[in-house]
Structure 1
């Protein structure tokens, strides 16, 4: 049954235990939540806030460290904690889609701690999604790193069962894991990560991982074959990944970054196509990861694409936030009682002073 709802989506805040980012996303977010969510909530309208990955900096931490880091982040940003608690107390549903920088959120103890912090009265108002968030007919959301070989974690669903300690680092994370080591040592770590990723890709196609996919399809209320095809849509291949990895290393050493263009990722149309094939078409496909805010059509599909960009200072797109660092991208999708939707990419600016 359809019912009126509003979905607000933003991503890549990269909140840490410090506040060193020049755009200070942890200071800006509370005002955004008050003005755009709490103060504008229409009576009776179901509201959802979706953080589309890389909300927190938890990468390469074990379970105990992840719990401690989460506590330190909210201790450093008490206004953010209070604003999120106020949203949850008002009945707003909070969703956290895991990215490559906060996949540790999927660990059950870490997810439970996040829920307890943000909604102590009703932890069910906070949800952590290791991979996808899907709402029939309306939207599908993923961070998008699983379609990028350098960041891909093939067995991501194992995070919610065994924790990230049992999931191999993707190549780029292996390069950054020990920054004080020699370049030769770090290159060796990347090579080992490539071998591990190839092995993981083979395990994704075995019955043991199919069981995790089946469980995920039940959670998502999505056709099991569709879920399997989505999980295997992208694949790590060493031959194609190594040159890209080497290029990224050289650019990073030179203090440069890859900004990319204004086109959706190649996987976006294929995701929409798989869902449509299995009778699960959505009006919107939302991802993040590239730090390039974008809204566009998808070739050969009625599904519209949005990338929610970043609230950090590492803006790589060509939108208004590149020239105006007080422009913070987010998306709004409104769902009417009849199931029709409208919305799109927006830019929010803090009130002066």
Structure 2
């Protein structure tokens, strides 16, 4: 990279068409952008939303476009703050999560860019899979390593839209909560079979071509991208018991959250190292558990951006103080050295 830069990374805001979350992420984010991002100067500025920024999953293309505009209309202050960032030259990055995979549609990505930066739409970038900054960081939502949420053929969303993508098992269970448990269990079983078939297609030549195209955007070797795509895999034999356990715990109002770096983070870091593309930071979200830790036998450090919504999980400052909002900052010096880590933002007066 040329020159000093600062990267702010947040995730799991889950902004929808209403503003009823008790933590009010849609009202806190504008203050953060103005107080942290727009107040900085003399460096390249990037804000990365590491997935599940919006509630945009399971809709047709036309419905998604209308819903995106409705969400931004509901959160006008956030909309204005994001536009102000783009106008000031801040690069905005949106990594797709399992709740906003529809952002990967070319038409939806273009609409988001046009809304937030009409003069320079290139200031807004959507990353269907993950963001790679050579030598600095990799940021992905994390659902691709979680069988209950994994969408094996995620890159097809950026080519064909998402209508042809099958729902992952947990999404299939949650799609129609009013249906009987037996009916929903059947939907989960069908989703498992569909995911198994999708995993086979990911290993075919046609998907390899998508991976090669993606490697150019990611500035990564094509073999490295292929290996990263195959690091995790859906398997019914292991997914079904996990799904059943998740359902029981959810019914009891409990969540099980790891208190250390996920094994997938280690696999990603080591794969990048093996291809001569090591990064200083691997950042993900998805678990709603803010965390920073070292990775075993790797120079890469792991950070999870947690959530700005009310569904905070695990132990941490954001659990004990709901007015503490987690984010990750990565600073890049002019000589390429990096520093940073997990931070917490508190709104004025809290």
Counterparts of 1:5 and 1:341, CA distance in 2: 10
> How many pairs were matched up?
350
Counterparts of 1:261 and 1:274, CA distance in 2: 22
Task: Name 1:8's counterpart in structure 2.
Answer: 8
Counterparts of 1:2 and 1:317, CA distance in 2: 38
- TM-score, length of structure 1 as denominator length: 0.98
Counterparts of 1:38 and 1:288, CA distance in 2: 24
1:248 aligns with 2:251: no
Counterparts of 2:278 and 2:3, CA distance in 1: 18
Question: For 1:66-145, what aligned pairs fall within 5 Å after superposition?
Answer: 66-145=64-143
Task: Name 1:275's counterpart in structure 2.
Answer: 272
Task: Name 1:320's counterpart in structure 2.
Answer: 317
Secondary structure of 1:301's partner?
A: coil
Task: Name 1:37's counterpart in structure 2.
Answer: 37
Counterparts of 1:302 and 1:279, CA distance in 2: 13
| 1:272-294, Cα deviation, whole Å (9 max, x unpaired) | 00101111010000001000000
How far 1:252 moved relative to its partner?
Answer: 2.0
Q: Aligned Cα RMSD in Å?
A: 0.8
Counterparts of 1:305 and 1:350, CA distance in 2: 26
Counterparts of 1:2 and 1:68, CA distance in 2: 39
The equivalent position to 1:297 in structure 2, one of 286, 294, 297, is 294
Secondary structure of 1:127's partner?
A: strand
The equivalent position to 1:331 in structure 2, one of 304, 311, 328, is 328
How far 1:42 moved relative to its partner?
Answer: 1.7
Counterparts of 2:309 and 2:107, CA distance in 1: 27
Secondary structure of 2:339's partner?
A: strand
The equivalent position to 2:284 in structure 1, one of 284, 287, 294, is 287
Secondary structure of 1:9's partner?
A: strand
1:348 aligns with 2:345: yes
How far 1:332 moved relative to its partner?
Answer: 0.6
Counterparts of 2:65 and 2:258, CA distance in 1: 37
- Mark the runs of 5 or more structure 1 residues left unpaired by the alignment: none
Secondary structure of 1:164's partner?
A: coil
The equivalent position to 2:257 in structure 1, one of 241, 257, 260, is 260
| 1:186-237, Cα deviation, whole Å (9 max, x unpaired) | 0000000000000000000000000000000011110111100000000000
The equivalent position to 1:206 in structure 2, one of 204, 207, 212, is 204
- TM-score, length of structure 2 as denominator length: 0.99
Counterparts of 1:14 and 1:112, CA distance in 2: 20
How far 1:166 moved relative to its partner?
Answer: 0.6
Counterparts of 1:232 and 1:77, CA distance in 2: 37
